[in-house]
Amino acid sequence: MSAGAGQTADARSRGVRKERRGVVVSDAMDKTVVVRVDVLKPHPKYKKTMRRSIRLHAHDQENTSKVGDVVRLVETRPLSKTKRWRVAEIVEVAK
């Protein structure tokens, strides 16, 4: 069985897309949300795990994401000056 069994030629040539999971912090723009993604990485010298966060702009086609929702982001082609991600699914709805 080949390594690409079950995948189309387009998916293989495109490569693996990065995925991130984060919390929506702003939905004020049309079809765009700002998502905070927490990254855990060790300190270079002391090796203690530090929590760093980055804010990513993501495309939300249906404007369904609201502030506080946990969403899964998938890397995509550049959609604007700042948007390189799109919302794949809403993992958890805000209470």
1 versus 90: the higher-pLDDT residue is 90
Mean pLDDT of 60-85: 97
Q: Domain 16-92 is of which CATH architecture? A: Beta Barrel (2.40)
Would you say residue 8 has pLDDT above 90?
no
Instruction: Assign 6 a pLDDT band (cuts: 50, 70, 90).
Output: low
* Coil/strand/helix, residue 47: coil
pLDDT tens for 19-68 read 999 999 999 999 999 999 999 999 999 999 999 999 999 999 999 999 99
Would you say residue 2 has pLDDT above 60?
no
- Distant-in-sequence, close-in-space partners of 47: CB < 8 Å, separation ≥ 6: none
Where in the chain are the domains? 16-92
CB 90 within 8 A of CB 35: no
Main-chain phi, psi angles of 32, to 5 degrees: -140, 135
Beta bridge partners of 26: 34
